[in-house]
Amino acid sequence: MNPAQAVERSSTRLYRDCLRLVDHIASKSPKGQQLRLILRTEFKKNMGETDPVKIEALKGGAIRGLSNYLVHESGSNDPQLKKRMEAVKTHALADLKQRQQERDGKR
């Protein structure tokens, strides 16, 4: 099997695994339907990509996106996790604001 076939096969496997995961975490709910639509759209948009490095980056992004969704959903059910997520969000926003101010000051 040549490298292009291996990448194609692993991308197909990732797509199927992502669809299964969406079915598992959101089933037939409106959230699940929206996740499936986003998933299909993203995979179709990048279907013609042939650069193995870019494909690996896209695959990593798909995995991170679903992981972030799972953390977000579990945070809404776990008060401690929700509190920590809010603290991280507050810190990240403050950091972003500081970087923007530094960038604006350099202009």
Round the average pLDDT of the chain to a whole number and report it: 81
Other beta carbons within 10 Å of 75: 16
Model pLDDT for residues 10-62, shown as the tens digit of each residue: 778 888 888 888 888 777 788 888 888 988 898 899 888 888 888 888 888 88
Average pLDDT for residues 65-77, to the nearest whole number?
Answer: 77
Question: Measured in Å, how far apart are the chain's first and last C-alpha atoms?
Answer: 53
Q: How far apart are CA 87 and CA 34, in angstroms?
A: 28
**What's the DSSP call for residue 27?**
T
> Any idea which residue has 């959903």 for tokens?
73
